[in-house]
Structure 1
Amino acid sequence: AFKRDEVKVIFVLGGPGVGKGTQCANLVRDFNYVHLSAGDLLRAEQARPGSEFGELISTYIREGNIVPQEITIALLRNAMQEAVSQGRTKFLIDGFPRKMDQAVKFEDDVALSEFTLYFDCSEEIMLQRLLKRGETSGRSDDNIESIRKRFKTFIETSMPVVDYYRSLNKVIVVPCDKSQEEVYSLLKDKIRDRMDI
């Protein structure tokens, strides 16, 4: 297994539909991060033939609830291990930690985070973006009921995580009400300042 101090981890948080995936792809391209989306790992595990967790994950995702942290952390750790074995040690962990206890458990068991990127966006903008994505994504949770549930879950459970890291001065806030290009330009500057690159 990899050592805690040989990896660099940035948490990426923001409500559903803020464009985290798009901006993470830009960071991967320009800064050589490995992008791990907790949601994508869970969806892949759910679809994997013979997965012992598949049915459980399906139920949690459908209800808009948070999957038990042991499963998510195990999937993240496995994906990190694979990347480290290829010599890649800088990670963007997207859509995680979704709750305070996940943050604590990950930092205790896997690695400390350098900082958290928080994509800040109004509910109206997120709703528009998600409904548009739902027209083509085929994702079961891109419908108005699931979206509303996910907003509520995000505000109640994920904002305390953002506030906690903010209190440690470990949050970069990225306002998302501008175009993707403008958002990325701002984000890149903030990361360069923070990482001293």
Structure 2
Amino acid sequence: MAGKPFVIFVLGPPASGKGTLCKRLAEDHNLYHLSAGDYLRYLINGPLAGQPDIVDAVRYGGTRGLVRGDVIVSLLIEKIKEEMSKGESAFLLDGFPRNLEQDKAFRERMRSDFDIDTPDLTISISCPKEVARARYLNRKRGDDSEDLFNKRYSDYQERDTQVVELYRKGLIEVTADGSLSIGQSYLEMVKTLSGEGAWTNLTSAAQN
């Protein structure tokens, strides 16, 4: 494994379109889309199924704070290293970090393991609660319910927004509301990214 990873945090409330936007951005610009929630769910149904403390914490809290920051960070960084060994170099961390503890633990590990400050970019997707609720309930995924949505949205407002404020100065903000389709939100995101030096350096290097 050579080089150092380029890391983009992607933040936003549940059902704001993070996953869809990240998937498209990854496909169009040769990035690795690493959804923290999806990856944890994969682990507890496979490689970590025999570790009940992590399994229970993920099932009942996921990335929203019940799993210790250092545990999540260790799992994500090992995944980044695994993918770097296969040639990946730029990562979209979808739905991470969810709180300041996770942010601090991740940055400390990145300095320790790669000698870099991270993230390179932070994207925040804003979406009104009513629009997010409608999308959440319409997708009919697993145990999705209005009560669970309300809890997740409250968690976002209480914890995730602290991370948004931490990166406010250099934040790339994307609006996903009722007047914009996901496609329009994507175009807005790419347009905003094109004005960021770190992004243009990344995409230029990928084309050479």
TM-score for the superposition, normalised by structure 1? 0.89
3-state SS of 1:193 partner: coil
User: What is the CA–CA distance in structure 2 between the aligned matches of 1:16 and 1:120, rounded to whole Å?
Assistant: 10
3-state SS of 2:98 partner: coil
Aligned position for 1:116? 122
Aligned position for 1:56? 57
3-state SS of 2:103 partner: helix
Letter in 2 for 1:184: Y
Letter in 2 for 1:120: S
Is contact 1:99-1:157 (8 Å) kept?
A: yes
Q: 1:2: how far off?
A: 6.5
In the alignment, does 2:26 pair up with 1:24? Answer: no
3-state SS of 1:116 partner: strand
User: What is the CA–CA distance in structure 2 between the aligned matches of 1:12 and 1:20, rounded to whole Å?
Assistant: 7
User: What is the CA–CA distance in structure 1 between the aligned matches of 2:60 and 2:128, rounded to whole Å?
Assistant: 28
Letter in 2 for 1:126: A
In the alignment, does 2:105 pair up with 1:105? Answer: yes
Aligned position for 1:156? 158
Alignment deviations for residues 150-176 of structure 1 (CA, whole Å, 9 cap, x no partner): 11110010101101101xx22100000
User: What is the CA–CA distance in structure 1 between the aligned matches of 2:17 and 2:31, rounded to whole Å?
Assistant: 17
In the alignment, does 2:71 pair up with 1:71? Answer: yes
How many residues are paired up? Answer: 187
Pairwise mapping of residues 155-174 of structure 1 onto structure 2 (< 5 A)? 155-166=157-168, 169-174=169-174
User: What is the CA–CA distance in structure 1 between the aligned matches of 2:192 and 2:57, rounded to whole Å?
Assistant: 39
User: What is the CA–CA distance in structure 1 between the aligned matches of 2:127 and 2:66, rounded to whole Å?
Assistant: 21
In the alignment, does 2:138 pair up with 1:132? Answer: yes
User: What is the CA–CA distance in structure 1 between the aligned matches of 2:128 and 2:67, rounded to whole Å?
Assistant: 25
Letter in 1 for 2:36: A
TM-score for the superposition, normalised by structure 2? 0.84
Fraction of identical pairs, as percent: 31
What is the CA RMSD across the aligned residues, in angstroms? 1.7
In the alignment, does 2:146 pair up with 1:144? Answer: yes
Letter in 2 for 1:79: K
User: What is the CA–CA distance in structure 1 between the aligned matches of 2:158 and 2:147, rounded to whole Å?
Assistant: 17
Q: 1:19: how far off?
A: 0.7
Instruction: In structure 2, list runs of 5 or more residues that go unmatched.
Output: 111-115, 204-208
Letter in 1 for 2:58: I
User: What is the CA–CA distance in structure 1 between the aligned matches of 2:183 and 2:108, rounded to whole Å?
Assistant: 36
